[in-house]
Chain A
Amino acid sequence: MRLPFTNDPSRPRRRRLVLGALAAAGLVAAFGAGSWAAARAQAPTPAPDEAPAPAGTADHAGASGAEADRPRPGEVRRLAPAYVPRVDTGLVDRAGAPVLVSCGTCHATRPPDPGRCATDDAMAMHRGLVFAHGERSCLACHDPGDYDRLRLAHGEPVPFAEAPRLCAQCHGPQQRDWERGLHGGMNGFWDAARGGRERHACTSCHDPHAPAYPLVTPVFHPPDPLAGRGRPIPARGAEGGAHGH
């Protein structure tokens, strides 16, 4: 569930804050939903119809060896993929495992064509991709010069690991709230002096190609208020009936 993410002390502090979350937002435009699925297999992001269950809720405090990988006091871990996403080619290897390739594997020989972004042809190449992120073109986020990274609006390339910087270009208020701990959830310690915490990043919860939070089926339906009384309740009609219901 938890992805290791190491802070690079050489980075400016402000960038560091945004950093981890930026990572998976790099999944944005031109690679397939297969890669999204592959990334999600490792990242704590919601599957449709199932909201993500953040790490640390199930284990009881201090009960197990999970203590060891808890963030240290003051540490804030960003829960975001720190790798280049892979695309499912639809092939399987001899062991039956899907063959994954990086975006650049195909795009090294296929020059980008901004005009074809939304065509059926392009979608067919990116198996299962659902694109529902406004009117963006693939190249609004993906770097046509190097498909294994992203780029900001003014052309500055960013690695996938810094994807939140990209998201923040449009989603300013969310980014502001996220930085201040008011958006995106967390677990660990409220008191930084006594323990660290883990933070979700943009793509922990949002599919970059269809970022609207997925519909969920609520769990834990409220029971009948009389449920679970140790022993059977006398038939309610028996007494109630005499009084007009």
Chain B
Amino acid sequence: MTSAAATVSEPRPGPHEGHAVSYPRFLLRVLWLATDGSPRFYAWMTVLTAIALVGLHAWAVQVRDGMGVTGMTDHVSWGLYIANFTFGVGLAAGAVMMVIPAYLFHDRDMHDVVIVGELLAIAAITVCILFVMADLGRPDRFWHMLPGIGRFHWPMSLLTWDVLVLNGYLLLNLHICGYLLYMRFLGRKPDPRWYVPFVFLSIGWAISVHTVTAFLYCGLGGRPFWNTALLAPRFLASAFVSGPAFLIVALRLIESQGGFAVGPGPRRTLHGILRVAILVNLLMVGSEAFTAFYTGGGHAATAQYLFFGLHGHTALVAWTWTAVAFGVVAAVALLWPGTAAHPWRLDAACALAFVGVWIEKGMGLIVPGFVPSTLHEVVEYAPTLVEWQISAGVWAFGLLVFTAAVKVALPVLRDEPAGGERADASATPVASGTAG
């Protein structure tokens, strides 16, 4: 149930060694492998560590001096952190788009690399939790939220739901990845009863994670911009853009940098998912824009601010149109029949889609929810250097976790015996049936 894990049979445990001995050995093995690699790997990890430390320092300063070092105000009381949090949840939920083809549709190629998706979910949820911590005015009182010890306002507060689903999703994925790798470490065949039910649970859970996150916002009657039933579906659509987009690029990097042959299958499948998701997402954004502008009145104020500026305040206009442009260009590129034949074009389209969704969910959704304020004052928000530092630090840490996790898991994938995992895949429905 802890961090992702190792491989290879070398310090192979004795046949009758207990878990109390073998599991710590397994963890040490994981730690060793995660910190072992080529000079390029070391350089990459060092850069990420350095950025993460800069972010950590900025956060320490923020805790000491107060959130006044951010650009947030009583008018725009959530900013870059919650924006990134929201996007991160989407990324985690989007990773399920590898799990669904692998386990529901028995896509063998996808099944070979599905662990990358699960590891992305772990890294993304880590990022989300760190962003929530960064946003707390009193991180020292975090324990107030622990069920049993503090006062957990469940089920009334949607934030407590979010705590549950996020941590649940994290634990599910940690268990699945950790179990598979531990079994590999022990040299045993994974027992489907110990992970397949969890895989199916995680598919449903992924949807719930982002739905609950949407409910955080759309349940607030005082914020008309968020108070729309379309928010949860929209979150899911954009999650299924950002997740696959990230994974397409990640798989290619794993292939080119990690030396693991992924093959074209998974990328093709993800590309297909992306084509649908990005169109659905654009449709929903357009639908929201139509409703706001055609109806007009006070509820259109935020949309007006977002797209054209309000009362001379235009801070988000450039962000918005950048997101729209990226989304449209990415959609055209992804749908263009020739794109798939050129990996770099596909990667570029994915990058555009990824950044487009990042803007759309952050500067295009969380921030404008506060502009104009509930008393219709227009107070603009711009992140400060501290906020950028902390955000970069959190993302660097997330990438660090993801890189290390993939680094550990790669040998497992590389050493995959023919027919091993694939046999699992074909056995899945039966296994889950018996397990369930």
Is A bound to B? yes
Chain A residues at the B interface, C-beta cutoff of 8 Å: 225-226, 229-231, 233-234, 236, 238-240, 243-245
Are B382 and A225 interface neighbours, CB within 8 A? no
Interface residues of B in 33-87 (CB under 8 A from A): 65-66, 68-69, 71, 73-75
Q: A229-B68, A230-B66 are in contact. Are A239 and B73 (CB under 8 A)?
A: no
Cross-chain contact A239 with B385 (CB below 8 angstroms): yes
**Once the chains are docked, how many angstroms separate the CA of A240 from the CA of B385?**
10
Contact B65 A245 (CB under 8 A): no
Of B318, B322, B383, the residue contacting A245 (CB under 8 A) is B318
A225-B74, A234-B384, A238-B385 given; A243·B69 CB < 8 A: no
CB of B315 closer than 8 Å to a CB of A: yes
Residue numbers in B under 8 Å from A236 (CB-CB): 71, 382, 384
List residues of chain B with CB within 8 A of the CB of A233.
68-69, 71, 384
Contact residue among B65, B75, B318, B384 (Cβ-Cβ distance under 8 Å from A243): B318
How would residues 317 to 349 of chain B score, 1 for a CB under 8 Å from any chain A CB and 0 otherwise? 111001000000000000000000000000000
Q: Would A234 and B385 count as touching, CB distance under 8 A?
A: yes
- Residues 147-181 of B, flagged 1 when their CB comes within 8 A of A and 0 if not, give 00000000000000000000000000000000000
In the assembled complex, the Cα of A229 lies from the Cα of B314 at a distance in Å of: 24
What would 16 A/B residue contacts be, using CB atoms closer than 8 Å? A225-B73, A226-B73, A229-B68, A230-B65, A233-B69, A234-B384, A234-B386, A236-B382, A236-B384, A239-B383, A239-B384, A239-B385, A243-B319, A243-B382, A244-B322, A245-B314
For B379, the chain A residues whose CB sits under 8 A away are 225
With contacts A230-B66, A236-B382, A244-B318 known, what are 15 further pairs, Cβ within 8 A? A225-B74, A225-B75, A225-B379, A229-B69, A231-B65, A231-B69, A233-B69, A233-B71, A236-B71, A238-B385, A240-B315, A240-B382, A243-B382, A245-B314, A245-B318
What residues on A are CB-neighbors of B23 within 8 Å?
A: none
Contacts A225-B73, A238-B385, A239-B384 known; A231 to B68 CB distance under 8 Å?
Answer: yes
Is B200 positioned at the interface, with any CB of A under 8 Å from its CB?
Answer: no
Q: Which A residues lie within 8 Å of B68 (CB)?
A: 229-231, 233
Closest to B80 in A: A239
Give the docked Cα–Cα distance between A234 and B65 (Å).
14
Judge whether B388 is part of the interface by a CB distance below 8 angstroms: yes
Residues in chain A near residue B65, CB distance under 8 A: 230-231
Contacts of A239 in B (CB 8 A): 382-385, 388
Name A233's closest neighbour in chain B (CB-CB).
B384
Closest B residue to A231 by beta carbon equals B65
Chain B residues positioned under 8 Å from A229 (CB to CB): 66, 68-69
Q: Give A103 to B319 CA distance when docked, in angstroms.
A: 73
CB <8 Å contact, B317 and A244: yes
A73 vs B383: C-alpha distance when bound (angstroms):
54
Compute how far the CA of A243 lies from the CA of B387 in the bound complex, rounded to whole angstroms.
15
> Complex Cα distance A136/B69, Å?
62
CB proximity of A186 to chain B, nearest CB, Å: 28
- Nearest CB of A to B77, in Å: 10
10 closest A-B pairs by beta carbon, nearest first, are A244-B318, A229-B68, A225-B73, A240-B382, A234-B385, A245-B315, A225-B379, A236-B382, A234-B384, A225-B75
Contact, CB under 8 Å: A244 / B319: yes
- Cβ contact within 8 Å between A245 and B74: no
B-chain residues with CB within 8 Å of residue A243 when the two chains form the complex:
318-319, 382
Q: How far is the CB of B375 from chain A (nearest CB, A)?
A: 11
Please, how many angstroms separate the alpha-carbon atoms of A230 and B379 in the complex? 20
Tell me the complex Cα distance, A226–B69, Å. 10
